[in-house]
Amino acid sequence: MAARRPSRPAYRIEVQVARPFRSVLRAAWLRRIARRVLAAEDAGPTELGVVISDDTTVRELNRRYLGVDEPTDVLSFGLGEEGDGPFALPPGEAAALGEVIVSYPTAVRQAEEQGHSVEAEVAHLLVHGILHLLGYDHLEAEDERVMREREEEILPDLDLEGASFNNVRR
């Protein structure tokens, strides 16, 4: 009788890519990155939304919800801590973590400025956004150091240059 592998937590990751960017990014690739980040952080069963959008939409969200009327590269909107809601989750049920919104045009500009691929920049922004939802922050110097170190530990494991991450439609 074969030994059973331990079950992995169930991650429900909903990905929405705005129409202008569907020709360059694959939702399955974004889901794979998100799963790897959640697994690296030992997150339990989790629901997560990932949105790839434009500068105008991200700026409007930044203005409306954070009071900052300027574009940004990534926004994270958490849905609260486990146990914050009025109902307890059944064992094994996915907790709603939140949503990460990435501005694709900003990712393109930042990739060009920093001399790396757009895919690497999008992956970095997604990792950064998910870490925010998991409680990391960078308001204080020490917190920024911890978050940056965690990003630097996770990003190499994503194998961004590998052919198995065929995230770009050709």
Q: Spell out the domains of the chain, with CATH numbers in brackets.
A: 11-81+93-158 (3.40.390.30)
* Torsion sign, CA atoms 117, 126, 44, 132: positive
Residue carrying structure tokens 């991200």: 58
For the segment 12-26, what is each residue's pLDDT rounded down to a tens digit? Answer: 999 999 999 999 999
Can you give the pTM of this predicted structure?
A: 0.84
Q: Between vectors from CA 41 to CA 159 and to CA 120, what angle results, nearest 5°?
A: 30
For the segment 43-95, what is each residue's pLDDT rounded down to a tens digit? Answer: 988 999 999 999 999 999 999 999 999 999 999 999 865 445 545 566 666 78
List the 46-53 sheet strands across, edge first: 11-17, 46-53, 95-103, 74-78
The pLDDT value recorded for residue 79 is: 85
